[in-house]
Amino acid sequence: MKTILTGIRANSVLTLGNFLGAMLPMVRLSNKYSKEGYSVNIFVPDLHSIISEVDGNLRENTIRTLKYYLAAGLEINENVHIYRQSYVPAHSELCWILNCTATMGEMNRMTQYKEKSEGKSSCNVGIFDYPVLMAADILLYSANYVPLGEDQFQHIELTRNIAERFNHKYGEVFVIPEATAEQVKFMGVEKAIRIRDLIDPEKKMSKSTAAENSKIMLDDEPAKVAKKIMGATTDSFEQIKFDFATRPGISNLLYMAALMKGISLSDFVKDWEGQSRYGDLKKAVAEVISTRLADFQARMAKISDEEVLALFEEGEKYANKIANAKLLEVQKAVGLR
Ligand code: AQP
């Protein structure tokens, strides 16, 4: 049976970009495919979280991240496995072994590393190396599908390259995850999702961007959401049009609203394209986002820490079993055992 796997870092409250690009697609896929017998692994990569500043308490953020999935509608059954990365030590150990297969040249080409280190006089090695830990996260569980936002797809290609090189050198140990085109097809979207920064829509929306008004956080109240949307950068054309190439700001608003409403982009866009009422569109988008977020926040409030911890503990027993078996295979192939 196939395996689907994903994770979202717990370094702070999540943005609407994380929610729409990675969390909602995963919840949808998990609810569908776990019932068909696929194994679904959802983990909180707490080790990845510390490559950047942690806003708040990491342990509490980790619990909150799982609550997000549950509030977003994740259904639990025997095929859905939930765990914290640092509770499965095989991730770190395989990362080291894969570090000895990855090359400096390919790591230097990673866009996320370039973006996260840009303009910094010094950056930690974790920012450079986390794509290898990500490869370990995926390969330990023989994951075929890894639903992610657009920014992370380069790391799937890296994972494939590392796994193929390892298999070539040591024998057929790893299952190679599907290539980007297949991943996107599996997610059921035309293109991998990239939600833009509200102030600079050429950039992606990110948790760590300093400007508060550039991102919608999942705990934002309706008034705050409205203020941010009303202040979002659009364009000086006279008519509303969906086109990310020439009008990224307004296209981002249309895109976010359609995803939040759960309707097709064309259905949402057809009511607005050709009109000049930018202000009305912003109000409508703010209404759609804040209504759905308020409902989501109310669900969050009803989930207890105990419920979340019980899910983690159960999932970690499973994850350690699978991960340790794969790690032993790797250790034997390399000659460590
Ligand atoms: N703007 C985005 N649009 C669509 N998907 C996005 N993701 C992140 N931003 C967008 C997806 O969210 C998942 C988890 O991301 P992560 O926190 O593990 O890493 P990240 O990509 O570094 O996320 P951020 O928000 O940009 O974090 P910071 O600012 O802390 O570095 C991934 O699937 C990602 O694609």
Q: Considering only residues 316 and 115, tell me which one the structure prediction assigns the higher pLDDT.
A: 316
Q: Considering only residues 229 and 210, tell me which one the structure prediction assigns the higher pLDDT.
A: 229
C-beta atoms surrounding 109 within 10 Å: 12
Architecture of domain 3-188+304-334: 3-Layer(aba) Sandwich (3.40)
Q: How far apart are CA 53 and CA 207, in angstroms?
A: 11
At 57 the pLDDT is 95
Domain with CATH 3.40.50.620 in the chain: 3-188+304-334
Q: Does residue 68 carry a pLDDT above 90?
A: yes
- 217-268 pLDDT, tens per residue? 999 999 999 999 999 999 999 899 999 999 999 999 999 999 999 999 999 9
Query: How many Å lie between the centroid of ligand 1 and the Cα of residue 206?
Result: 6
Using alpha carbons, select from 204, 206, 182 the residue that is nearest to residue 195: 204
Q: How far apart are CA 215 and CA 67, in angstroms?
A: 21
Query: How many Å lie between the centroid of ligand 1 and the Cα of residue 11?
Result: 11
Residue 16 CB partners (closer than 8 Å, separation 6+): 195, 205, 215, 216, 217, 218, 256, 289
At 149 the pLDDT is 87
At 41 the pLDDT is 98
- 151 CA closest ligand 1 atom index: 35
C-beta atoms surrounding 238 within 10 Å: 9
- 139-165 pLDDT, tens per residue? 999 999 999 988 899 999 999 999 999
Residues with CB under 6 A from ligand 1: 8-9, 11, 15, 17-18, 21-22, 52, 148-149, 151-152, 193-195, 204-208
Mean local confidence (pLDDT), 77-92: 98
Using alpha carbons, select from 77, 317, 118, 291 the residue that is nearest to residue 206: 118
Query: How many Å lie between the centroid of ligand 1 and the Cα of residue 19?
Result: 9
Mean local confidence (pLDDT), 281-300: 96
Domain with CATH 1.10.240.10 in the chain: 212-300
CA 336 to chain centre: 33
Q: Does residue 192 carry a pLDDT above 90?
A: no
CA angle, 97 then 99 then 100, to 5°: 70
Q: Does residue 325 carry a pLDDT above 90?
A: yes
Find out whether 9 and 84 touch, Cβ atoms under 8 Å.
Answer: no
pLDDT bucket at 208, cuts 50 / 70 / 90: confident
At 263 the pLDDT is 92
Sign of the torsion angle spanned by Cα atoms 215, 216, 220, 226 = positive
At 189 the pLDDT is 85
Sign of the torsion angle spanned by Cα atoms 266, 268, 271, 273 = negative
Architecture of domain 212-300: Orthogonal Bundle (1.10)
At 116 the pLDDT is 87
pLDDT bucket at 190, cuts 50 / 70 / 90: confident
- 24-65 pLDDT, tens per residue? 999 999 999 999 999 999 999 999 999 988 999 999 999 999
Mean local confidence (pLDDT), 294-310: 97
